[in-house]
Amino acid sequence: MRKFAIAIHGGAGTILRSSMSAERELTYRKALEEAILAGEAVLMKNGRSIDAVEAAIVSLEDNPLFNAGKGSVFTHDGKNEMDASIMNGKDLMAGAVAGVQNIKNPIRLARAVMEKSEHVFMAGLGAQEFAKKINAEFMPDDYFFVQHRFDQLQEAKKSDTMVLDHTVDKEKKFGTVGAVAIDAHGNLAAGTSTGGMTNKKHGRVGDTPIIGSGTYANNKTCAISCTGHGEFFIRSVVAYDISCLMEYKGLTLKKACDIVVMDKLVKIGGEGGLIAIDAKGNIELPYNSEGMYRASKKQDEELYIGIYKD
Amino acid sequence: MRKFAIAIHGGAGTILRSSMSAERELTYRKALEEAILAGEAVLMKNGRSIDAVEAAIVSLEDNPLFNAGKGSVFTHDGKNEMDASIMNGKDLMAGAVAGVQNIKNPIRLARAVMEKSEHVFMAGLGAQEFAKKINAEFMPDDYFFVQHRFDQLQEAKKSDTMVLDHTVDKEKKFGTVGAVAIDAHGNLAAGTSTGGMTNKKHGRVGDTPIIGSGTYANNKTCAISCTGHGEFFIRSVVAYDISCLMEYKGLTLKKACDIVVMDKLVKIGGEGGLIAIDAKGNIELPYNSEGMYRASKKQDEELYIGIYKD
């Protein structure tokens, strides 16, 4: 049996220690711990990495602190439009949804696309119809109504800016959540989920549901989940780029992450970060922004939780 | 000045010489020639590869023979839902649309997303709204009504199968069109456009609008446009995989295409092909299906047109 390991993120951006109260920081730390424990619980019972990834992301989606699921930001039209994707490193199966509304856990819907449809990627009304058919859990609009998100929309509308961040105190933050894991069987998995951008125009799709950009997993190399300015992550095919640097150039996970996040993305102005785990259970949590909500846990090791630059 | 070159495809699949009349074959050959000449005309005037790619794809989209633009197949609901993407190898800028309706030339809309929005990828109603705002050319439903496509839908509905092909005579064909080019300035570009799958459920997104899967261009390596069973192309991140094999492993375009199309895709059951051009102007047109509508033209060389295995 291999040793299991799991890592999660709750978004990257301008997260400054100076603008965070001790109480607020504690709330985030508790939320990250809760999510990683939900994933770890699966792995401890010799469960599958894909189930651990789903469990951790569901926990983050259900928490209004993060821009995914319940905590999704409002689009220009005052709606919540969510994207998610998931990938299994063992067989390279994948599932993704974009622009879905009123779905309690988009990551579960992405997994259903992978397992219960002949497709990989479904968007918009068609994805909604698919959700109904498989009896996905729907929630009314008010479940997704979080006051400070609504206030953000009003503020963004005033200046007619598209806000990538989602905090009330003007931090720039890329609201995405994600998880990567390796289980005791040596199988890798990755998943990502987002509530989009405040005041975004209906229909914008970021990197979150794009296999190869926002999410990728392959037992041969690594599992990756990204968070950042999606347009740059799409153009850079970020998640698969790390896998290719390992597979074709023989780089370590750390070196591949350094090149992609700290050099290539920086050069084109692509702010953000990612979480990564390789087939040996090594974990990397690189980001080129001020901070990234992140946590990791390896079997028989201490839990790590980080928010700012260490 | 470099020598320019351009290649196009009109879809891959079970295209058999035995089931094609001489007259029908001639119609396809003429259509491919027309499209490649439209692209070449741009390149001959020292135009940009991105303009040549757009011109060639517009010609294919306007031709009812191909499953893109006017010739798009019908979804389950009797609608035409189209996807397209385009990428510029010089600056890695990209644009993509998914699930758009009544747009005469989806490739032009993808380009507008690249050049006139801050996004890379727009889908569904939001993409439609964006199209209205930039005054994209809309066409009424009957422009897209092609009798044999409608007949196909009725037939597919009877058996409730999802038909990937789009010919009346039971051939399996992946309806996509695409173009790749290098211009006299040494810049690469790629684009892809599709009308989807007959009888597909509303909302399925294939590889065509996915940067890295269906389309990719990078002056350092190559420009790629894919056609095939999209789900496998997404999971394999096909277009970027070829670029990575060249950049990270130092393979030639030919060798990289061989590995991805004739080995990796075949192993997972991913039928289809692609067109590829590298920074030196080399062209590859690999496919693992019975045939692929394809054409290529290098400066000062003869036009090549192919349909079946040569």
Say yes or no to pLDDT of B167 above 70: no
Edge-to-edge strand order for the sheet containing B283-284?
Answer: B215-217, B222-228, B272-278, B283-284
Please state at what angle helix A106-116 crosses helix A124-133, rounded to 10 degrees: 80
Considering CB atoms only, which of A122, A211, A244 is closest to B204? A122
CB contact under 8 A, B237 and A245: no
Instruction: For an interface test with A, give the residue of B79, B87, B202, B220 to mutate (most A CBs within 10 A).
Output: B202
Minimum CA–CA partner of A121 in chain B: B205
CB of A280 within 8 Å of a chain B CB? The answer is: no
Q: Which residue of A has its CA nearest to B208?
A: A121
Mutation for testing the A interface, residue in B79, B244, B264 having most A CBs under 10 Å: B244
User: Which pLDDT score, from 0 to 100, does residue A168 have?
Assistant: 39
> What span, in angstroms and rounded, lies between the C-alpha atoms of A299 and B188?
47
The residue of chain B nearest to residue A206, with distances taken between CA atoms, is B121
Q: Coil, helix or strand for A207? A: coil
Average pLDDT, chain B: 91
A151 Cα to chain B: minimum distance (Å): 23
Q: Which of residues 79-98 of B touch A (CB under 8 A)?
A: 87, 92-94, 98
**Lowest mean pLDDT: which of A78-87, B103-112, B130-139?**
A78-87
Q: Which residues contact B158 (CB under 8 A, 6 or more apart)?
A: none
pLDDT at B145: 76
Across chain B, which distance is largest between two alpha carbons, in Å?
A: 56
Strand boundaries in A138-210, DSSP class E: 173-174, 177-182, 188-194, 204-205
A268 shares contact with chain B (CB less than 8 Å): yes
Q: Residue B119 is nearest to which of A99, A204, A244, comparing CB atoms?
A: A204
Model pLDDT for residues B183-213, shown as the tens digit of each residue:
999 999 999 999 987 666 678 999 999 999 9
| Model pLDDT, residue A145 | 76
Strand A121-123 relative to strand A93-100, pairing: parallel
pLDDT tens digits for range A9-48: 999 988 888 888 899 999 999 999 999 999 999 999 999 9
In contact, A287 and A274? CB cutoff 8 Å: yes
Residues of A taking part in catalysis: 176
**Confidence band, pLDDT 50/70/90 cuts, at residue B80:** confident
Q: Evaluate if residue A91 carries a pLDDT over 60.
A: yes
Whether the pLDDT of residue B228 is over 80: the answer is yes
- Name the A residues in 31-60 with CB < 8 Å from any B CB: none
Pick the residue from chain B with its C-alpha nearest to A86.
B235
The yes-or-no verdict on residue B75 having pLDDT over 80 is no
Q: Which of A204, A210, A240 minimises the CB distance to B126?
A: A204
Q: Which of B79-83, B87-91, B194-198 has the lowest mean pLDDT?
A: B194-198
Give yes or no for B249 touching A (CB within 8 A): yes
Q: Measure Cα distances from A98 to B92, B174, B215, B295 in Å.
A: 23, 24, 19, 35
H or E, element range at A82 = strand A82-88
CB contact under 8 A, A126 and B268: no
A204–B125 CB contact, under 8 Å: no
Q: Shortest CB distance from B123 goes to which of A205, A237, A240?
A: A205
Domains of chain B: 5-308 (3.60.20.30)
- Give the model's pLDDT for residue B63: 95
Asked whether the predicted pLDDT for residue A287 surpasses 90, the reply is yes
What is the pLDDT at residue A243? 98
| Element spanning A294, H or E | strand A291-298
Q: Is the pLDDT of residue B53 over 50?
A: yes
Q: Is the pLDDT of residue B182 over 80?
A: yes
Supply φ then ψ for residue B20, to 5 degrees. -120, 125
Q: Give B 135-174 residues with CB within 8 A of chain A.
A: 162
Average pLDDT over residues B123-150: 88
How many whole angstroms separate alpha carbon B101 and alpha carbon B230? 20
Helix/strand/coil for A12:
strand
Q: Are A111 and A54 in contact (CB under 8 A)?
A: yes
How many separate helices (H) and strands (E) can be counted in chain B? 9, 14
Residues of B with a known catalytic role: 176
How high does pLDDT run on average in chain A?
91
**pLDDT tier, B170 (very low <50, low <70, confident <90, very high otherwise):** very low
- What pLDDT sits at residue A15? 83
Q: Is the model more confident about B152 or about A192? A: A192
Average pLDDT over residues A234-261: 98
How many inter-chain contacts (A to B, CB under 8 Å) are there?
145
**Taking 80 as the threshold, does the pLDDT of residue A235 lie above it?**
yes
Among A88-102, B131-145, B256-270, which is the least confidently predicted range?
B131-145
- Give every CB contact of residue A289 below 8 A, 6+ residues apart in sequence: A12, A13, A14, A15, A172, A174, A228, A271, A272, A273
Show the tokens assigned to B154: 């009725």
**Shortest CB distance from A234 goes to which of B94, B230, B244?**
B94
| pLDDT score recorded for residue A163 | 55
**pLDDT at residue A7 greater than cutoff 90:** yes
| pLDDT band at residue B14 using 50, 70 and 90 as cut-offs | confident
Closest-CA residue to A307 (of A14, A1, A7): A14
Task: Give me the residues of A, 58-77, that contact B with CB < 8 A.
Answer: none
pLDDT score of A175 = 83
Q: Number of helices (H) and strands (E), helices first, in chain A?
A: 9, 14
Using the beta-carbon criterion (under 8 Å), do A206 and B236 form an inter-chain contact?
Answer: no
Of the candidates B99, B234, B268, which has its C-beta nearest A211's C-beta?
B234
Q: Residue A89: pLDDT above 90? A: yes
Q: Is B114 in the A-facing interface, judged by CB distances under 8 Å?
A: no
Structure tokens at B224: 């790629």
Beta-strand relationship, B204-205 and B82-88: unpaired
What residue in B sits closest to A246 (Cα-Cα)? Answer: B248
The answer to whether the CB atoms of B119 and A241 lie below 8 A apart is no
**pLDDT confidence of residue A75:** 72
Name the pTM for this structure: 0.93
Q: Is B205 in Cβ contact with A121 (below 8 Å)?
A: yes
Q: Which pLDDT belongs to residue A167?
A: 40
Tell me if chain A has a CB within 8 Å of the CB of B201. yes
Q: What is the largest CA-CA distance in chain A?
A: 56
Reported as a single tens digit per residue, the pLDDT across A103-162 is 999 999 999 999 999 999 999 888 999 999 999 999 998 898 777 667 777 777 776 665
Mean pLDDT of A236-244: 98
Confidence bin at B168 (pLDDT 50/70/90)? very low
The Cα of A146 is separated from the nearest Cα of chain B by a number of Å equal to 24
What residue in A sits closest to B246 (Cα-Cα)? A248
CB neighbourhood size of B58 (10 A)? 24
Distance (Å, whole) CA B113 – CA B124? 13
- Residue A241 to residue B236, Cβ atoms within 8 A: no
pLDDT at A173: 63
- Taking CA–CA distances from A237, the nearest residue in chain B reads B212
pLDDT at A162 (0 to 100): 59
> Can you tell me the distance from the alpha carbon of A142 to that of A64, in angstroms, rounded to the nearest whole number?
12
| Chain A residues with beta carbon closer than 8 angstroms to that of B237 | 211-212, 216, 237, 240
pLDDT greater than 90 at residue A166: no
The mean pLDDT of A191-215, rounded to a whole number, is 89
CB contact under 8 Å between B203 and A123, yes or no, is yes
